[in-house]
Amino acid sequence: MSPTPADVAVVLDHVHKAYGGEQPVVALDDVSAAFTRGTMTAVMGPSGSGKSTLLHCAAGLDRPDSGTVRIGATDLSSMSESRLTELRRGRVGFVFQAFNLVGALNVEQNILLPSRLSGHRPDPAWVAEVIGRVGLGDRLRHRPAQLSGGQQQRVAIARALVTRPEVIFCDEPTGALDTRTAAEVLALLRSAVDRTGQTVVMVTHDPVAASYADRVLVLADGRIVRDMPQPGAERIAEHLALLGRRQPVASREG
Ligand SMILES: Nc1ncnc2c1ncn2[C@@H]1O[C@H](COP(=O)(O)OP(=O)(O)OP(=O)(O)O)[C@@H](O)[C@H]1O
Ligand SMILES: [Mg+2]
């Protein structure tokens, strides 16, 4: 059954995005996709296939050249920059590979920063639960530089969870982590979906990370070329290998 509008957290409808310059690059070529509430989707594909661009357009960080993006019932196309900023602070969370923590603030201050910026005082019980879930209760007064990569990534996830955003967008959240820490981070994202009904859209290169998702979208050359429900790590790896062979640039065979 196709999802009803109320079930849909994010919709991209015929989104086109090109970057200018001497040789214009089409980053997204007529992409349409709907992300169902309370699900986790992995977005995969070769380097340069448009994954980050898709995430940025879906999250209102970047504007498509044509087509529309909706978060819930809100159409982002016609929104002013200031309303977009408000939407991003209130309804959307981000986790980037490079953590994007504020070095001068401690763990607790980093986690509470989005709430401070949006002027909403978060429920202290919820803040305590989020901090407990990411397992950083004993590191709240530490600065990011005093933490390991995995701990920093967990701070970034707590920061994304604390405002209870409808949608959490992650760009290679486990790219810099070892296998065990990556598994912890993925379990946290999974719990945001399973326990709090949030929606996660995660870019990843790792078939094992993608196997945590309910669905895998594969991009190539700015288009969605596969849409697979729970394919499992092996099938994902096979599909990526096939894409790699079609694209000599991304292949390692030289
Ligand atoms: N700001 C920009 N200016 C010009 N070209 C850009 C810009 N951002 C992205 N591109 C181009 O758009 C295409 C898609 O880029 P995008 O960052 O979405 O790819 P990606 O799938 O996230 O790749 P990766 O896996 O390497 O992160 C690429 O060809 C890239 O060079
Ligand atoms: Mg990218």
Q: Judge whether residue 235 has pLDDT over 90.
A: no
| Distances 34 to 4, 41, 80, 179 between C-alpha atoms, Å | 10, 10, 23, 30
Per-residue pLDDT tens digits for 168-179? 999 998 887 788
Q: What is the pLDDT of residue 10?
A: 97
Higher pLDDT, 154 or 254: 154
pLDDT the model gives residue 170: 95
Mean pLDDT throughout 58-85? Answer: 93
Confidence at 129, pLDDT banded by 50, 70, 90:
confident
Ligand nearest to C-alpha 43:
1
- The best mutation among 23, 28, 52, 218 to test binding of ligand 1, ranked by most ligand atoms within 8 Å of the C-beta, falls on 52
175 Cβ below 6 A of ligand 1: no
Overall average pLDDT of the 66-73 stretch? 95
- Assess whether the C-beta atom of 17 lies below 6 angstroms from ligand 1: no
Cβ of 50 closer than 6 Å to ligand 1, yes or no, is yes
pLDDT digits (tens, 9 = 90+) for 211-234: 999 999 999 999 999 999 988 888
Q: What DSSP string runs through the chain?
A: -PPPGGGEEEEEEEEEEEE-SSS-EEEEEEEEEEEETT-EEEEE-STTSSHHHHHHHHTTSS--SEEEEEETTEESTT--HHHHHHHHHHHEEEEETT----TTS-HHHHHHHHHHHHTPPPPHHHHHHHHHHHT-GGGTT--GGGS-HHHHHHHHHHHHHHT--SEEEEESTTTTS-HHHHHHHHHHHHHHHHTT--EEEEE-S-HHHHTTSSEEEEEETTEEEEEEES-HHHHHHHHHHHHHHH-GGG-S--
Which residues place a Cβ less than 5 A from the ion ligand 2? 52
Q: What is the model's pLDDT at position 224?
A: 97
The 10s digit of each residue's pLDDT in 101-110 is: 999 999 999 9
Question: pLDDT digits over 176-193, tens only?
Answer: 778 888 888 899 899 999
Name the residue at shortest CA distance from atom 17 of ligand 1: 52
The pLDDT of residue 4 is 64
Does 2 sit in the ligand 1 pocket, CB within 6 Å? no
Enumerate the β-bridge partners of residue 216.
42, 228
Q: Give the CA-trace dihedral at 74, 76, 80, 86, to 10 degrees.
A: 60
Q: Report the pLDDT averaged over residues 202-208.
A: 94
**Chain centre distance of CA 101:** 16
pLDDT of residue 134: 84
Q: Provide mean pLDDT across the span 58-83.
A: 93
Q: Using an 8 Å Cβ cutoff, are 154 and 191 in contact?
A: no
Query: Which residue lies with its CA nearest to atom 7 of ligand 1?
Result: 19
What is the average pLDDT across 6-22?
A: 92
What pLDDT shows up at residue 80?
A: 92
CB of 114 within 6 A of ligand 1: the answer is no
Which candidate, 8, 41, 9, 13, places its Cα nearest to that of 28?
A: 13
Q: Which atom of ligand 1 is nearest to the CA of 205?
A: 25
What does pTM read for this prediction? Answer: 0.89
